[in-house]
Structure formats: C-alpha cells, structure tokens
Amino acid sequence: MLTSLHTIRIWFLIFSVMVASTASADLPNGSQSKRPNILFIIVDDQSPQDLRVYNPASELQTPQLDRLAAEGMVLDGAYHMGSWSGAVCTPSRHMVMSGRSVWHLPNRRGKRAQSNGVRPENVPESLEEFTMAAVFNRAGYDTMRTCKQGNSYDAANEQFTVRHDKTKRGGTAETGSAWHAEQVLNYLNEREANADQDPFLIYFGFSHPHDTRDGTPELLAKYGATNHDDPKSFPPASDDAPALPVNYLPEHPFHHGHPGLRDEENVSGVWKRRDEITIRNELGREFACSENIDHQIKRVLDRLDAMGELDNTYIFYTADHGMAIGRHGLQGKQNLYEHTWRVPLIAKGPGIPAGQRAQGNVYLMDVLATLCDFADITPPETNEGVSFRDVLEGKASTVREVLYGVYCGGTKPGMRSVRKGDWKLIKYDVLESTVRETQLFNLRENPHEFLIEHHSPRVKALTGIEPTADQVDLADDPRYADRLAELESLLHDEMKRLDDPYRLWDQDAE
Ligand SMILES: [Ca+2]
Ligand SMILES: [Ca+2]
C-alpha cells in the first residue's frame, strides 16, 4: 500500500513538472502577458458587520478596504462552514489551505485519526502536499507567507518557500500588525533587488484583531478605548467608543453549550461582562486593531504600485471567521449567527469589475480553487471547493444554493445551521440534551437575526434600535411551518452529504 502510494506521488510530481514545462514552452519570449500575482490577505477574528463595506453605520474607518471594494467585488454571502473545535481558527485555516470541507480535514498535527468526529478515511494521506503553497510551488510560483502562529495548519504552512510566522498582538510597530507588513515589504524588496520575474503568491496574514486587542495609543484614543486588563473594574466610559452593535443583548437567551469556553468567559478586557461600557470599550479596541491593519495593507499596496505589479495582482481580503463582541449577548466566535458564521470577502484584480457586489454563497474552502482558476492551475484532486471566479467576474451571482454551518467544539452534537435563499435555520442540541432549540430567520426581513429579547424596553433603550414585529425568530410561527420543515430536511441532507458524524435530537439516525 505504502509503495503504491509512493509511486502515485512520484508520478504525480513528474506529471506536474511536465505540465509546468509545457506551459512555459507555450509562452513565446516576451510576447505573452505575465502570469498574475496573488496577494491573499487574511485577518484573525473579524465580523463583516465591523466593516462599512457591509455595515455603512459602522464607526470603523478602513479607507483601504473601502478603496479595494470600490475597485473590485464584495461578496455578501461568504461563510467559513464551521468547526469541530473551540479553536474555530484551526479548521477554518485548514479549509483555506486544502480546499476541503470541515469533516474531511486532518487535525492540527496533520493526523488523520482524531478525536473530533472526523473519520480517518475521509482525510487523504499527505494532504499537505496538495495544499495552497505546494500547488503553487509546483506551478512555478514563488510562495511567501507571514501570519500568526498556532491554531493553524502547520504542515500546509511549512510548504511556503519563504515563511515568517509570529503572533503579533501588541500595540507597537514591532509587536503588532506592522510587523507582518514588514515581512511582506522585505520580501518584495528582495525580489526587486534580485530582479525576480516569477509570479508570486503572498499569504499576508495578521494576528489581530483577535484578542488581546492591544491597539496603538493613537487609534485607541480615536475609538475611545483602553487596553483594560482588570476584570474587577470597568474601563473608563467614553463618548468616542463605538455604539453598541444593533443586535446587542446583555445575555444570550439560553446556554451556548460550551461550559468554560475561553472566548465567552476569559478574554482579557471582557471576561463574562456584557455591560454597555465593557462591550463598547472592547469594540473600540477591535476597531483600533482593524484600522491599523488597514494602514498596513496600504503600505504593501503602495509598494506593489511602485514596483509596477499592482495591476497584475489579484488581491483577496477575508477573515478566518466572524466575531460576536456583544452581539446576541455572546462574545466569541463559537456560534452560527451571521455576524460570526459569515466572513468579509473582497477581491480585486484583472477582469474583476469595479464597485460591484454579489451574493456568492461561497465558503473559505472555495478560495484554493478560485486562486488556481485565476492562475490557470488545475486544482489538486483532493480539492472539494468550487471556483467562484465567475461570480467575481460578474458572470454568475452564486456558486451554490444551500449553505451549511457547524459548531461542534463544546458539548455534542452542538449547533448546526443551514441557509437557502433568504431563509436560515439554526439548531442547538447541547448540554446532554437539556438545551434543544430551533431558530428560523428570514434574513431579508431580519438581517440581524433579532430575537424576542431584542424587543425588550431595556435592550431598546440601550441600542436605540426598534425592531419591527416580524423581526423575530419565526420557528414557532405556524405561518412558516412548511418553510421550517423544508430547512430541517435540507440540514439533514447536508449533514449526510458532508459526513457530519452527529445527528440532532429530532433527526433520523441515518
Ligand atoms: Ca480566528
Ligand atoms: Ca523566484
């Protein structure tokens, strides 16, 4: 068995080299347009709702992202599929690197046998050889990466030819986001010094705005925030702090199902507090870190422009998943509301029309196939993602109809969601079946997923938001019984299709 796999791998490598040399033989000297570069930007823990591109009322200023959106395409339906671990970053980053769905991933150590419910037979051997950098290396690209360390796909990360990974969550240039930009700038300078003409794939990852959200003093002041580290006191209240999120709640109406979860209980600056002052301060810290990232992106884009490479570079901007920070009374990334299940996704490059948006219905696992498509590379056979190039070029509005989400990092089976069109179902089966909840939302009518709790006078007084009567969870509304049944059935189908090893209390065991 080992020998035959080894042989297959050697043949695959020989074949790849043949394809690569045929491709370059096809290029008449100097007459062929250069292959495009790729700059893939990924931030750690950012809700699309933080960005003006998605939420015009947001107080966060990101002129570079606004510009990227004005020159490119914004996707409204980009999702991360979910997690079998409290460390939601981990499967998310595996999906980006491998193009595989959530129940078909190795664990962080690259092991196929694991304790999280993934069946080993659903994980290809030596998958790292078919991940982003390995694929682009074989196609003749130069690959470079900077990102945080930890809760990631180590074996895939190691495939990048040049790699400068460190976790940088401080409030200075050396300890914060500027460090990641420096690595990219150094790399670009070196390429220029060596007159390197190969196309590049740069994976430009940040460690922020993930906590601890220690912003720079200037940006903290701008957003009325303090790097607060005393769980026994409030941070100073400031009028400059961002307003509470529109779907803020002082507590979630039922337990999220992951007792002791760090992100809900022990993040420095928030802990278990959900009061207005604490949440606004923490959002201010998040915004300070996110605006700094925007500054750092500008430095790299300006450099590419000066090198004459900007117009031949596809730029993607996304996050590994969204984030709650007070929305629905939650703090972390371990839920399936839109603020957390969704990710921002903006793309710009040759052939992508300017200033457009599309629904997309894409997952982060589709990124690999899409980058391959733009670079004219055949995606690896292990890839399960779908290229959304047609969406980015304005030729299609979506790549799929139904979206599936999972959070299975706490008590089992956990949370599941499914979306089709305007309709979305979320189910919770946690804490030894003591919490069994079903929510149904019409996202066109109720995009912020308001619950009945958002209608309480106390909450309305805090947020200044007055939801309409229909802006509630509709699961118990008899008018939508058929819709509920349809989504329940779709969820079950998706769970079977994607090899979800669990079933919920009201689902058939099949
Ligand atoms: Ca993350
Ligand atoms: Ca080179």
Calculate how far, in angstroms, residue 416's C-alpha sits from the geometric centre of ligand 2.
44
Kindly state the average pLDDT of the residues 212-221. Answer: 98
Calculate how far, in angstroms, residue 91's C-alpha sits from the geometric centre of ligand 1.
10
Ligand found nearest the CA of 88: 1
What is the length of the chain?
A: 510
Calculate how far, in angstroms, residue 17's C-alpha sits from the geometric centre of ligand 2.
16
What is the separation of C-alpha 312 from the centre of its chain, rounded to a whole number of angstroms? 25
**Which residue matches tokens 């457009």?**
356
Kindly state the average pLDDT of the residues 333-348. Answer: 98
Calculate how far, in angstroms, residue 197's C-alpha sits from the geometric centre of ligand 2.
7
Question: 456 in a domain, yes or no?
Answer: no
Question: 347 in a domain, yes or no?
Answer: yes
Calculate how far, in angstroms, residue 188's C-alpha sits from the geometric centre of ligand 2.
11
Percentage above 70 pLDDT, the chain: 94
Question: 142 in a domain, yes or no?
Answer: yes
Calculate how far, in angstroms, residue 424's C-alpha sits from the geometric centre of ligand 2.
46
Under the banding of pLDDT at 50, 70 and 90, the label for residue 1 is very low
Question: 447 in a domain, yes or no?
Answer: no
The residue ranking higher by pLDDT, 149 or 1, is 149
Flag whether pLDDT at 6 surpasses 90: no
Calculate how far, in angstroms, residue 58's C-alpha sits from the geometric centre of ligand 1.
21
Q: What is the pTM for the complete model shown?
A: 0.94
What pLDDT, on the 0 to 100 scale, is given for residue 257?
97
What pLDDT, on the 0 to 100 scale, is given for residue 109?
75
Calculate how far, in angstroms, residue 134's C-alpha sits from the geometric centre of ligand 2.
15
Structural domains of the chain, count: 1
With 0-12 CB in 10 A as exposed, 13-18 as middle and 19+ as buried, what is 326?
buried
Asked if 391 and 75 count as a contact pair (C-beta separation under 8 A), the reply is yes
Tell me how far apart the alpha carbons of residues 48 and 321 are, in angstroms, rounded to a whole number: 9
Calculate how far, in angstroms, residue 150's C-alpha sits from the geometric centre of ligand 1.
10
Flag whether pLDDT at 102 surpasses 50: yes
Q: What is the DSSP string of 406-434?
A: EE-SSSSSEEEEEEETTEEEEEEEETTTT
Question: 490 in a domain, yes or no?
Answer: no
Alpha helix stretches (DSSP H) within 335-393: 338-341, 367-375, 389-392
List all residues 6 or more positions away from 440 whose beta carbon is below 8 Å from its beta carbon: 423, 424, 425, 473, 474, 475, 477, 480, 483, 484, 487
Kindly state the average pLDDT of the residues 172-197. Answer: 98
Tell me how far apart the alpha carbons of residues 159 and 507 are, in angstroms, rounded to a whole number: 41
Q: What is the mean pLDDT of the chain?
A: 94
Residue 139: which H helix or E strand, with range? Answer: none
Calculate how far, in angstroms, residue 90's C-alpha sits from the geometric centre of ligand 1.
8
Calculate how far, in angstroms, residue 153's C-alpha sits from the geometric centre of ligand 1.
13
Closest CA to 103 of 125, 114, 119: 119
Calculate how far, in angstroms, residue 320's C-alpha sits from the geometric centre of ligand 2.
28
Calculate how far, in angstroms, residue 198's C-alpha sits from the geometric centre of ligand 2.
5
Residue 222 tokens, joined: 């701008």
Calculate how far, in angstroms, residue 427's C-alpha sits from the geometric centre of ligand 1.
23
Calculate how far, in angstroms, residue 307's C-alpha sits from the geometric centre of ligand 2.
16
Tell me how far apart the alpha carbons of residues 64 and 302 are, in angstroms, rounded to a whole number: 11
Q: What pLDDT, in 10s, does the model give residues 36-62?
A: 999 999 999 999 999 999 999 999 999
462 backbone dihedrals φ, ψ, rounded to 5° = -75, -40
**Which residue matches tokens 């966060």?**
60
Calculate how far, in angstroms, residue 96's C-alpha sits from the geometric centre of ligand 2.
24
End-to-end CA distance of the chain: 32
Under the banding of pLDDT at 50, 70 and 90, the label for residue 114 is confident
Ligand found nearest the CA of 42: 1
Flag whether pLDDT at 28 surpasses 80: no
Question: 431 in a domain, yes or no?
Answer: no
Question: 427 in a domain, yes or no?
Answer: no
Q: What pLDDT, in 10s, does the model give residues 284-336?
A: 999 999 999 999 999 999 999 999 999 999 999 999 999 999 999 999 999 99
Calculate how far, in angstroms, residue 407's C-alpha sits from the geometric centre of ligand 1.
14
Ligand found nearest the CA of 150: 1
Question: 475 in a domain, yes or no?
Answer: no
Flag whether pLDDT at 4 surpasses 60: no
What pLDDT, on the 0 to 100 scale, is given for residue 32?
57
Kindly give the pairing relationship between strand 200-209 and strand 142-147.
parallel
Tell me how far apart the alpha carbons of residues 382 and 285 are, in angstroms, rounded to a whole number: 40
Under the banding of pLDDT at 50, 70 and 90, the label for residue 465 is very high
Ligand found nearest the CA of 85: 1
Ligand found nearest the CA of 92: 1
What pLDDT, on the 0 to 100 scale, is given for residue 284?
98
Give the CATH number, domain containing residue 316. 3.40.720.10
With 0-12 CB in 10 A as exposed, 13-18 as middle and 19+ as buried, what is 277?
middle
List all residues 6 or more positions away from 88 whose beta carbon is below 8 Å from its beta carbon: 80, 82, 320, 321, 333, 334, 407, 409
- Domain of residue 121 covers 35-401
What is the separation of C-alpha 483 from the centre of its chain, rounded to a whole number of angstroms? 29
Residues, CB within 5 angstroms of ligand 1 (ion):
44-45, 89, 320
